[in-house]
Chains A and B, each alone.
Chain A
Amino acid sequence: MQFEQLATVPDPGAGPEVYRQHARTWLRANLPDFMRADSPDWRAPTLAESSAWEAAMYQAGLAGMTWPKAYGGHGLTLREHLAVNKEIGALPMPESVSSIGKELAGPIIMAVGTEQQKQEFLPAILAMRQYWCQGFSEPDAGSDLARLRTKAVQEGDTWRINGQKIWTSGAAKAHYCLLLTRTGTVADKHRGLLMFAVPMDTPGIRVVPIKSIDGKESFAEVFFDDVVVPDSARLGAPDEGWNAAIRVLSIERATNRMYRPWRFECELRQLIAACKSDAQLASALDDGYVQRRVGDLVSEIDGLKGLVELTVARMLRGETIGARGSLTKLYWSECHQAFAGLALSLLSQVGPHSSPLARRAQKAFTTAYLFSRAETIYAGTTEVQLDVIAQRVMNLPKDLT
């Protein structure tokens, strides 16, 4: 694949609309047809193809917008980040194969890493030379990280790590694991937590893929048996690093994959176009109930856009987002599940006689329906988000004061 390499990204002083127009023009000119989920020629891109695409996006100024220039970023604000994300959402392009690096490991390293770590990792993440996986969840510590068991023991200039992680997306392809361990015992609960950047080729690491509901093997169990890493792999001091990471995570929850509502709208358009392209399916669009459900989704997507834009406006004013990211996470995950449910039912009669667009949509949205089961689980389950909203947004008392 060859992508148009732009020598310069627009001057952000020209305003976010100029930047958005650049994103729009570049993405539409360069996104390969086979990567478009609405193309009858769609196929799953290989890792190398996805990587090349994302590297080209980065070169064109469409990734790492808010990262400092010193670490390979474009040194821009959330304003340009949002402008670009609207255009990313408007096209049915594949999800990033490096979102853990770009949206989790990168921002955390930026907050807690040493200068050397920042130089080593951050530019490599943006240039798609390094993929990361996230080693937080354990069999006994999903929503409740206080029950984390994976243990790190300091031995001179090295650390010895033993334990097990689970639901680790992209572990098989990752170069590094953002690993959360504890330095004491489980009785310490949230104290003594320590993060590492662990190279995945370190002896003692074993990756066992898990087949997921959508038939893929993209996540895994990862075992750490006497894995020894140098002290330079440590990200921050015990406690201090993790506390900084929590703050990063709350911002990430509110700002990651900001393109979602625009992508959901794009998917809804694809669904309607697919139905319109097929005589049998088109008649369903005259049904008042279907129109009502589409109308409800349009309102929900509008509301989600509003939440995202309000978050950006607040952050640009320097306000803290705190627990409010939970509102956005809860809303988008349920909104997308509602869409996927509608798509599944509208496309249930697709067969060999159906139009190519309808057959493509049925494959894409059946997968989306199955994958969307995960959306109310990962990044904090619905129940965790509801707890956070009740506790930290609404301050609802649990006892009489």
Chain B
Amino acid sequence: MSHEELRPEEFAQAAEAAITDALSRPDAGAMAQVLAQAGLTGVMAAEEDGGLGLSLDFALPIAHAAGRLRLPLPLPEQILLASALAGTPQAAALAAGERLAGIAWQGSLQSGHARLDNGPADWVLVADGAGAALLDASALPRDEQAALDPDHPQAWIALDGAPVLARLDARAWDALQRQAHLLLAEFANGAAEGALQAAAEYMATRVQFGRPLSAKQAVRHLLARMRLLQDVSSAAIRRATQADEYGAPRDTRPALAGALANAAFVIEKAIHLHGGMGFTWELPLHRALRAVRKLDAAFAGLASGNGRAFIQSV
């Protein structure tokens, strides 16, 4: 099958199958191997690096599926780093799933510490002046913050003396951030879709007062609002991937801020609609909530920053 024949929608099905398979594996390393064999980690990586050399359009459905199926790996970040580091041994290792890489959205090399919210990762990309540096974080001292997600904790990493594996210049770092905004927005939106689907199915089958709960107007209207916000996120992300009317790239931050806020609302309400069951560890929706709240923490201040930027633009 040549790449010209591939369509992003068709890729979504393959991604679903591979991620479902990966989720059955015992650890992160084994999961990464499965994803790599299915071509997911290297979807955007150069062919010379063992990748498929496809565009962001093909990575979006993968990020969506990862969110929907609650994959506890930084797959969107891995996909982008395998592409951004083209021509380096690191790119090939990431495309092949031999290592896991994440992005620290808080902190910098200069400040001496950075926080990895969406892990686990052997390698971490950290802001470095105007650009960014990929560090080997496997042996660095870290302070794990397990309160929000004990299974996959956030980690403050001390960067003193960290080995730098590769660097991205300002331009490459800027491009990477834009793509990461879109993929992580789609990841959150996928998580919201999964939660909404679970809630809608449960409400349609859970009988109380002689009828399914989805017959109750309060429930129907809440589900309709959840659907609205999930659709809005999809539309905003789709729009932000396209150039503007003058051919310039669009600001990706409002789509990410909107998708994170909308996903948090949808998942919180999905948990609520599951009643007592929603409060249990057994129901996996808490995993989606933790994942989205960790992203929210990673991009803390994004919405007010967007407001500041708009105000300055007037």
Contact = CB atoms under 8 A, between A and B. Distances in A.
Interface in B194-230: 200, 203-205, 207, 211-212, 214-215, 217, 220-221, 223-225, 227-228
A272 B311 contact: yes
A33 interface: no
A396 B220 contact: yes
A299 B314 contact: no
Interface string A61-98: 00000000000000000000001001000000000000
Contacts of A293: 307
A199 interface: no
Q: Which secondary structure dominates chain A's binding surface?
A: helix
Interface string A150-168: 0000000000000000000
B233 interface: yes
A40 interface: no
A296 B227 CA distance: 19
A295 B211 contact: no
Interface in B72-123: none
B272 interface: no
Interface in A302-325: 302-307, 309-310
Contacts of B238: 306, 310
A306 B214 contact: no
A300 B211 CA distance: 36
Contact of A296 (B203, B234, B236, B261): B261
A303 B307 contact: no
Nearest to A383: B221
B162 interface: no
Contacts of A398: 211-212, 214-215
Contacts of A385: 224
A327 B261 contact: no
A268 B301 CA distance: 20
A382 to B, nearest CB: 9
B145 interface: no
A386 B225 contact: yes
Contacts of A307: 231-232, 235
Contacts of B306: 294-295, 298-299
Given A86-B245, A296-B303, A396-B203, A302 B227 contact: no
Nearest to B207: A400
B239 A302 contact: yes
A388 B221 CA distance: 10
Interface in B277-314: 302-308, 310-311, 314
Q: For this complex, into which size category does the number of interface residues on chain A fall?
A: 35 or more
B258 interface: yes
B258 A396 contact: no
A274 to B, nearest CB: 10
Nearest to A393: B227
A145 interface: no
Given A291-B304, A396-B204, A399-B211, A306 B232 contact: yes
A397 interface: yes
Residue from A293, A296, A309 whose CB has the most chain B CB atoms within 10 Å: A296
A246 interface: no
Nearest to B237: A306
Contacts of A383: 221
Contact of B221 (A285, A327, A386, A399): A386
A235 B296 CA distance: 54
Interface in A349-401: 383, 385-387, 389-391, 393-394, 396-400
Given A276-B311, A331-B228, A399-B211, 5 more contacts: A86-B245, A295-B254, A310-B238, A396-B203, A398-B215
* Among all A-B residue pairs, the 7 with the closest Cβ atoms: A306-B235, A295-B307, A294-B307, A299-B258, A291-B307, A295-B306, A390-B220
22 contacts: A83-B245, A269-B314, A288-B304, A291-B311, A292-B303, A292-B307, A294-B311, A295-B257, A296-B307, A298-B307, A299-B255, A299-B261, A302-B258, A303-B236, A304-B232, A306-B237, A310-B238, A386-B221, A390-B214, A397-B212, A397-B215, A398-B215
Interface of B: 200, 203-205, 207, 211-212, 214-215, 217, 220-221, 223-225, 227-228, 231-240, 245, 254-255, 257-258, 261, 302-308, 310-311, 314
